Amino acid sequence: MLKELTLTGLVLAGTSLLTSCGNSSVKNYSADSPPAWFKGTSKEQVNYAKERKQPIAKEITLGKETIKLVYIPGQKKEDSFYMAIHELTNAQYGEYKQHNSGSYTYSETGWDRKEIPLNQPNQPIVNISFEELQDFCKWLSKKSKQKIDLPTVEEWEACHSRDKIEHYNIRNNRYDEIDPWKGTCDVGLYEPSKIGIYDMIGNASEITKTDTFQYDKLHGKVLIGISYKNYKDYERGGFRDPLTTTKSSPETYSFSLDKNKGEENAGCRLILKP
């Protein structure tokens, strides 16, 4: 069982290792030779990877798309995993099959309604169900010969940064100069956390594989994190449903999502188990 992570910076010595798996490939990066896209600043994260002889980062290439993941150390080596630095995008899912994330009806006054597209290639995939995402994970696992899945609430919260990040895509964010909450924006536009993960706050809320049957009677899945539709008060604990909240972190909120339905602000993030 995953315990609360403490992140304290080293990994396989040498260069990256590439493994080809049919139409996909997996590339491992050592902590001594991290990829240029790795923006983690946590010394603990790197030290654990070196100590345990684990790559600090991985890339899964599918056609024209690449899924980038970073090492998340658990208290034990077997509790560790890799988490995607970005929410799953429409383009990445599109390597599996086509999906329409739709649009979001935006209005500043209640009268000037505008349809904001959510279906651009680098926007996070939304309006997709847990069951559809599980099928994608099974397909990607087979394709890459890796164990790909959605995170549990505990795994997600272990990666959730406590950094004081001021710029993120939420509703009515006065700090926002990129995309003032009018739908999702492209992944990775905002600053990353200290472990190199983007959009843990804002953009899309994220579907986990944690059941809510222990909290309510919907038998759904826990949807966690604030999205472009939420005000900043949500991020500071303005809304927390005691039925579906599994932890008292003031920076997150969660609620139940029917596992067979999607929402216009509900996306996901992938993890990889070594």
Report the CATH number that the domain containing residue 150 is assigned in CATH.
3.90.1580.10
* Inside any domain, residue 5: no
What gap in Å lies between CA 270 and CA 87, rounded to an integer? 7
Which amino acid, 166? E
- For 21, how many CA atoms within 13 A lie in the half-sphere containing its CB? 18
The predicted-structure confidence for 88-112, as pLDDT tens digits, reads as follows 999 999 999 999 999 988 766 667 6
- Residue 141, classified by CB atoms within 10 Å of its CB into exposed (0-12), middle (13-18) or buried (19+), is middle
Q: What is the pLDDT of residue 159?
A: 85
In this predicted structure, the answer to whether residue 189 has a pLDDT above a threshold of 60 is: yes
- Residues 34, 57 contacting (CB under 8 angstroms): yes
Q: Where would I find the H helices in 120-253?
A: 130-144, 153-159, 232-235
Between 143 and 162, residue with greater pLDDT: 143
Q: Which domain holds residue 151?
A: 17-273
**Which two three-digit tokens encode residue 270?**
């992938």
* Inside any domain, residue 241: yes
* Inside any domain, residue 264: yes
* Inside any domain, residue 95: yes
The predicted-structure confidence for 116-146, as pLDDT tens digits, reads as follows 899 999 999 999 999 999 999 999 999 999 9
Number of domains forming the structure of the chain = 1
Q: What is the pLDDT of residue 16?
A: 54
β-sheet bridge partners, residue 17: 28
User: 113 falls in which pLDDT band (50, 70, 90)?
Assistant: confident
What gap in Å lies between CA 93 and CA 95, rounded to an integer? 5
- Residues 268, 150 contacting (CB under 8 angstroms): yes
